[in-house]
Amino acid sequence: MPEEIPVLPDSFWSSLKELSFNEIAFEMAKPYFGEELSDEKLNSVINDAFNFPVPITPVEGNNFVLELFHGPTLAFKDFGARFMARLFSEKARKDQQEVTILVATSGDTGSAVAHGFYKVEGVEVCLLFPKGKVSNLQEQQMATLGENVTALEVEGVFDDCQRLVKQAFTDDDLNLKMQLSSANSINIARLLPQSFYYAYAVSELQKKGIDEPVFSVPSGNFGNLTGGLLAMKMGMPAKHFLAATNMNDVVPEYLKGDKFQPRDSIQTISNAMDVGNPSNFVRIKYLFGNSDSAIRDQITGYSYTDGETRKTIREVFEKFSYLLCPHTAIGYRASKDYQSERDVKIPTVTLATAHPVKFRDVIEPEINHQIDVPDRLNVWLKKEKKSTSIGSDFEGFKQFLVDRA
Ligand SMILES: *Cc1c(COP(=O)(O)O)cnc(C)c1O
């Protein structure tokens, strides 16, 4: 985390509506780079990374959905991955040294990172995902690229993948042999771009005469929510944040007043949020100066069962013909519950984290309707997989890395 969070002037926040997405991104990123990256380079990183639309759709009354799934892998993680990959490429060129990026993924991070870095010079990528616990499409998107992208199937759950990666970063021997870096949401280069779209949502709402929305964030590792809190600390007007989870509800429990008590993750239909020990919790604490009460004032937690998630998908489709992926459905439901507990007129923005078509097997039975698969997805399903299986012990993983280098 940066030692100090830069605060942008009120004049910037009050006139967001005059700016494009990329202009907002530039102003928010600039203070973090100082002399290290010229304005010209930063602009080209931004223009290259964010080359797809970010619609904000009114679904019902004052409930908006910010569609973050129009990038190449159809999930919000494209924002972080594409921005970060272009920064790493700048750095590798400057240092003239190859970097190996290690990523533990429960699905969508891996595909976004794999795509973001694919064929980027000077960067090798190693993805670890839990065997049999990611969707077919997610696996195809990670394991068919090849080139500088290696996919490792781990015998275990997501938390095993994360443990292996964390251990690699603290292994002296390994760090002498290669330059390792992270691309998980603990990397500031991924976190920062996740603050841009919150500000963009505020700008789009300003155009409608709405200010200070409540943001509802479907959460697993809590990188996305941390991005929003970072924007708020930079001065962005936001009324409140909702931390919406599936039954992996460690953070909502904490927000209700209990201790933060990590535990093993459980499998749900919103599998990109099956995280039992969210890495970004410490960053959230840091942003609030470790004050539990300040955190609880600003964020309310909600958690839902798979049954409630399915019901929300069905109801929103039946009433508004709008399709929610299982993750987004959890956020949407939290928005509605927050409003009905307080005031239905409060404007809410739910972050839509994935395109519904990525979760057809969950959604189609609920809506009794087939979802059309865009051509760009069908391409992936036809490619040949090139992944390697490993166990969940560190020594095996380490040996693999050493042999490969
Ligand atoms: C990663 C992911 C999430 C959770 O985001 P975090 O930043 O880990 O909280 C939610 N939905 C989808 C579709 C994701 O891929």
Probe residue for ligand 1, chosen from 224, 241, 302, 357 as the CB with the greatest number of ligand atoms within 8 Å = 224
Q: Are residues 194 and 158 in the same domain?
A: no
- Residue-wise pLDDT tens for the chain (405 aa)? 888 999 999 999 999 999 999 999 999 999 998 888 899 999 999 999 999 999 999 999 999 999 999 998 899 999 999 999 989 888 888 888 888 999 998 776 788 888 889 888 888 999 999 999 888 888 888 899 889 999 999 999 989 999 999 999 999 999 999 989 887 656 788 899 999 999 999 999 999 999 899 999 999 999 999 999 999 999 999 999 999 999 999 999 999 999 999 999 999 999 889 999 998 999 999 999 999 999 999 999 999 999 999 999 999 999 999 999 999 999 999 999 999 999 999 999 999 999 999 899 899 999 998 988 877 777 778 888 888 999 999 999 999 999 987
Same domain, 110 and 251: no
Rg of the Cα trace of the chain? 20
201 and 341 fall within a common domain: yes
- Any domain includes 374: no
Residue keyed to tokens 């994360």: 162
Assigned domain for 373 exists:
no
Residues 275 and 337 in one domain: yes
CB 241 within 8 A of CB 298: yes
Residues 392 and 284 occupy one common structural domain: no
Q: Are residues 112 and 137 in the same domain?
A: yes
User: To test ligand 1's pocket by mutation, which of 129, 327, 333 has the most ligand atoms within 8 angstroms of CB?
Assistant: 327
pTM for the model stands at 0.89
Ligand 1 atom, smallest distance to 221 CA: 8
The total of structural domains in the chain comes to 2
CA of 217 to the centre of ligand 1 (A): 9
Ligand 1 centroid–CA 353 distance in Å is 6
- Whether residues 95 and 232 share a domain: the answer is no
Gap from CA of 143 to ligand 1 centroid (Å): 20
Residues at CB less than 6 angstroms from ligand 1: 75, 77, 108-109, 185, 218-224, 272-273, 327, 353-354
Judge whether 275 lies within some domain.
yes
Q: What is the 3-state secondary structure (H, E, C) of 95-159?
A: HCCCEEEEEECCCHHHHHHHHHHCCCCCEEEEEEEECCCCCHHHHHHHHCCCCCEEEEEECCCHH
Q: State both tokens at 318.
A: 């039946």
Which of 349, 399, 373 lies closest to 136 in space, CA to CA?
A: 373
Question: What CATH number does the domain containing 387 carry?
Answer: 3.40.50.1100
User: How much helix, strand and coil, in percent to the nearest 5, is found in the chain?
Assistant: 50, 15, 35
Longest CA–CA separation in the chain, Å: 59
Hey, what are 134's tokens? Answer: 């990611």
Report how far ligand 1's centroid is from the alpha carbon of 267 (Å): 14
Residue 222 CA to ligand 1 center (angstroms) comes to: 8
